[in-house]
Chains A and B, each alone.
Chain A
Amino acid sequence: MKVLRPIIAVIALIVAGGVLGMSQGTQMLVGVILPSIAFLVFIVGIIRKVVDWSKSPVPFKIPTTCGQAKSLSFIKEDRFDCPNSKSDVIVRMILEIFLFRSLFRNTNAGVKSGDLPKLHYGPSLWLWLFGIMFHYTFLVIVLRHLRLFTEPVLPGIGLLEYFDGFVQVGAPVLYQSDLIFMGAITALFIRRLIMPQIRYISLDTDYFPLLLIFSIGATGMLMRHYFRVDVTGIKELTMGIVTLNWTNPGTIHPIFFIHVTLVSTLMIYFPFSKLTHAAGIFFSPTRNMANDSRATRHINPWNDPNIKPHSYADYEDEFRQFMVDADIPVEKELPPAPAAEKKEEVTE
């Protein structure tokens, strides 16, 4: 069971965070030093990954065209699925990044048996829906957390919190983003477990981030709604991290340290895993290039000028007699008659 190891790993992290978070002595380690290091690893790791990708050139212009290209004036061009210019590419990328355009195309294929096998296709938007719910609510949650790392609190955060808690349920209010986030991540996890094809391709490293992020969400919600942790103390601690003025108020419930351990793990794990898709999508040559390769020459930095075709001269040398006999123009005339011995055979 590929899902077992990740479950054990996440439980181990929770236990470790809890144990270290229980005593004042180690709270500093897990609540302040660990996340500081994790944040650095995250930033440096991502930068290194991006630099590493950038080091490899893009030798050929290989966009995947998903619509009609710009061609004749009377043929309607599909600008954003088959971009012809930089600005069209930008729109295509925005559609990909903000609306998951390609995933929105998803279909589900099946086969019906009978006298004739019949393939059928239906729209399959669950993955798109869960994906988009998960990513957007993750963004909202990260932004809300900026309250803890800015003083005065960044403008707009309050407004975001207001709208996020718009339904005004519970005290402290329940954020809609939290609920959607937990629902989406659960759905993504269950999907991996129950769909045969997806289950078969899933690795430990596919379950692990889902479980980790789920646990982060769960501990976060527990802190807010069940343990009612000391928010003022937390802010003191988090501002201490930001200002490099490390403090531990000593009033914070251990659940907070579990939460921080998990978040730190995520940050450390991120740059070395598939989670780099967040940055990688910007580098995907099938999406971020214009389909104008016949109009504008793309340069390959390692193009080898020494690769030459089998030359026409050699070709004619081999076939001159046949060409002359067939009235095909030649560059060089045949040698004078006596030596006319041809060895090649006509093969077909």
Chain B
Amino acid sequence: MAIPKVEELRHAVANEPNLFTGAIPKKDWQDSFTEFKEGNFAYPAKPEMVEYHKFPNPRIWSPTDDDWKLPDGWEDIILQGLKERLGKFRSLKVFMDICVRCGACADKCHFFLGTGDPKNMPVLRAELLRSVYRNEFSVGRKILSKMQGNRPMTVKVLKEWFMYAYQCTECRRCSVFCPYGIDTAEVTMMLRELLHLVGVGINWILEPAANSNRTGNHMGLQPHTFKENIGYLVDDIKDITGVDVHPTFNRKGAEILFITPSADVFAEPGIYTAMGYLLLFEHIGLDYTFSTYASEGGNFGLFTSNEMMKKLNAKMYAEAKRLGVKWILGGECGHMWRVLHQYMDTMNGPADFLEVPKSPITGTVFDNAKSTKMVHISEFTADLIKHNKLKLDPQRNAHRVPTFHDSCNPARAMGLMDEPRYILDHVVPKWYEMNENCIREKTYCCGSGTGLNTGEIMELRMRAGLPRANAVQDVNQRFGVNCLANVCAIDRATLTALMEYWLPPTGDDPMATTDVPVAGISELVGNALIMDGEIENRDQGLRFEELVTAETEG
């Protein structure tokens, strides 16, 4: 799918007539349906993936087909599924009943701001389900049907669910502004679960989920490859700093099991973040191990169903138990931390075979994680810095002027906001905040979370990422910000694409792909660390980039 040139899209987002730019659609939303076209949907799951997960109705189909080859009696399957979920989730039941359609959420969604599509207003996204819910379950549905905007469960409605359940990244920004805390993420999760009941899902989620299940990580890295990849990073660290770092794998008796998203050991720029972890752990002499079996921090189950989430997450405790570690340390990742913080203990706890996490370096006890026994790397690092346990030279990051992007889940499902900022304060000479409406609990999604960072919907992703890109561009122009720091593996992949698109390089570096490259906080930490035995006058950063030393500056 060809994506429009950035100049065209720049013009389009501000000028094409839509509900965001001020034009009112002629038809009621109940009666207008968007057509599926190459580029506005993620590819359906391959039959073998559907089979692998033992989901129903594996087949070859396309959203552009009239006939989606739904199973016989699919309407009943969906309605039964809805009824069952209303009984299992109070959130769903309450959120179906109490929305007053005040519209406070309308212009809070990055998908709406980027596309102007009315059904990307959180209120309407939820109404897609509510209209069916009212039609089936509300008192007075027979007489009030028309007045309530009710709709029967039809193929058109189902197709619409598929379209808009995969134009929501479950980022929860709308729920911050809703006077009743209605969380569209809950609605989207339910829509996706319901769609899976009739075999409607996307490959970019089900395949990584299958990989995670089988190989331990979504990239499908087998144990030796996983180890080998980290080996390359060890070599690079040696080349850059002259220091040997000593990661171990599946080692029984280690004090700490370290789990990070597998993208960190596989793809740029995540690998630089992983190099940061390796340097940090070597620096403090941490007794830790990677696991190749639990080699994925991320959880594609969160984007699929609660059962899948539980199944994939269960590996972490299982492996911690097998290896006999004391507690688990988690790398930088957004949705991974939603699962760890809000679901893991409930789903797979109690982790009574682990100990309350205690930093072996500072002695700090992480009471906030005393039940799950899992600590976020930013919490761990901030505590080390506070206790002066790290030798840091922020000047090594002097070539970087970062801003910090709060990832949706750490911000809105965890409340982890100031730990990374505290770290930034100590590892770079200077950094800047973006517009206050675009950070912390009001942060904007990268536009490609929840399994949507797939190539075939690139235009959608760039549109959805527009609010974030806009805020970065603003600090780039005002303060010369040239680094987008974050604590999320998906961000590292998706923001990179976003920055390359919206902020193409303007300088004269032929290698540059954007004016604002993306970096994990731990990369900045690793780059600033003064390691024992490092080469004198180290002149390269973790990306082999030239460091701006005091001499070259002066």
Q: Does A343 make an interface contact (CB < 8 A)?
A: no
Count of A interface residues, CB-CB < 8 Å = 106
B228 → chain A, closest Cβ, in Å?
7
Q: Are A295 and B113 in contact (CB under 8 A)?
A: no
For residue A161, CB closer than 8 A to chain B, the reply is no
Query: Is B417 close to A, CB under 8 A?
Result: yes
Q: How many residues of B contact A (CB 8 A)?
A: 130
Residues in A whose Cβ lies below 8 Å from that of B20: 109, 111, 197
User: Judging by beta carbons under 8 Å apart, are B91 and A208 in contact?
Assistant: no
Docked-complex contact B94 and A283, CB < 8 angstroms: yes
**Is B179 close to A, CB under 8 A?**
yes
Q: Contact mask A276-306 → B, CB, 8 Å, 1/0?
A: 1100110111110001111111111011100
Whether a CB of chain A sits under 8 angstroms from the CB of B183 is: yes
**Contact: A60 with B343, CB < 8 Å?**
yes
Q: Which residues of B contact A287 (CB under 8 A)?
A: 180-181
A206 within 8 A of B: yes
Given A196-B24, A284-B98, 20 additional A-B pairs, CB 8 A: A49-B97, A74-B386, A103-B177, A109-B107, A111-B13, A112-B14, A115-B10, A119-B471, A131-B102, A131-B179, A197-B19, A201-B124, A204-B147, A205-B149, A280-B98, A291-B414, A293-B342, A295-B369, A308-B314, A348-B221
A172: CB under 8 A from chain B? no
A-B contact pairs, 14 of them (CB 8 A): A56-B89, A58-B89, A65-B411, A69-B415, A105-B177, A111-B21, A116-B10, A204-B147, A276-B97, A297-B371, A297-B372, A302-B88, A308-B314, A323-B292
> In the complex, which of the residues A81, A112, A348 has the most CB atoms of chain B within 10 Å of its own CB atom?
A348
Cross-interface CB contact of A57 among B88, B172, B383, cutoff 8 Å: B88
In the complex, which residues 15-50 of chain B have their Cβ closer than 8 Å to any Cβ of chain A?
A: 15, 19-25, 29
Inter-chain contacts of A72 with B (CB < 8 A): 364, 379, 382-383, 386, 419
The answer on a CB contact under 8 Å between A61 and B24 is: no
Check B346 against A111 for contact (C-beta < 8 Å). no
Pair A113/B311 contact, Cβ less than 8 Å: no
The answer to whether A319 and B223 have CB atoms under 8 Å apart is yes
A contact patch SS: loop
Residues of A in contact with B (beta carbons under 8 Å apart): 5-6, 49, 52-62, 64-72, 74-76, 78, 81-82, 96, 100, 102-103, 105-109, 111-119, 121, 127, 131, 195-206, 208, 272, 274, 276-277, 280-281, 283-287, 291-300, 302-304, 307-312, 315-316, 318-319, 322-323, 325-326, 328-329, 346-348
B232 CB to closest chain A CB (Å) equals 13
Q: How far is the CB of A28 from chain B (nearest CB, A)?
A: 27
B274 CB to nearest chain A CB (Å): 18
Within 8 Å CB of A302, what residues of B? Answer: 88
User: Given the complex, which residues of B lie within 8 Å of A81, measured CB to CB?
Assistant: 441
Whole-angstrom CA separation of A81 from B177 in the bound complex: 12
Pick the residue among B100, B215, B315 that contacts A277 (CB under 8 A): B100
Query: Which of A82, A293, A322, A329 interacts with B251 by CB under 8 Å?
Result: A329
Assembled-state Cα–Cα distance A284/B186 (Å): 12
Contacts of A307 in B (CB 8 A): 307, 310-311, 314
A198 to B311, CA, bound (A): 41
* B118 adjacent to chain A (CB < 8 Å): yes
B178 at the interface (CB under 8 A from A): yes
B98 near A62 with CB under 8 A, answer: no
B-chain residues with CB within 8 Å of residue A204 when the two chains form the complex: 146-149
Instruction: Decide yes or no whether B140 CB sits under 8 A from chain A.
Output: yes
Are the CB atoms of A295 and B368 closer together than 8 Å? yes
Most buried by B among A6, A62, A108, A206: A62
Chain B: CB-nearest residue to A275: B100
Indicate whether A127 sits within 8 Å of B441 (C-beta atoms), given known contacts A49-B97, A319-B222. Answer: no
A66 to B443, CA, bound (A): 10
Q: Is the CB of A328 within 8 A of B88?
A: no
Interface membership of B62, Cβ < 8 A: no
B61 located at the interface, meaning its Cβ lies under 8 Å from any Cβ of chain A in the complex? no
B54 interface residue (CB < 8 Å to A)? no
Contact of A65 among B14, B121, B441 (CB under 8 A): B441
Chain A residue nearest to B220 (CB atoms) is: A347
Which one of A200, A346, A348 has the highest number of Cβ atoms from chain B below 10 Å of its Cβ?
A200
Closest to B106 in A: A197
A136 CB → nearest B CB, Å: 15
**In the docked arrangement, what's the CA distance between A295 and B121, Å?**
35
Contact: A206 with B370, CB < 8 Å? no
Contact check: which of A68, A106, A294, A316 meets B104 at CB < 8 Å? A106
Residues of B within 8 A of A294 (CB): 340-341, 345, 368-372, 374
Flag if A328 contacts B227 (CB, 8 Å).
Answer: yes
Q: Judging by beta carbons under 8 Å apart, are B118 and A64 in contact? A: no
Which of B24, B113, B183, B440 is A109 in contact with, Cβ under 8 Å?
Answer: B113
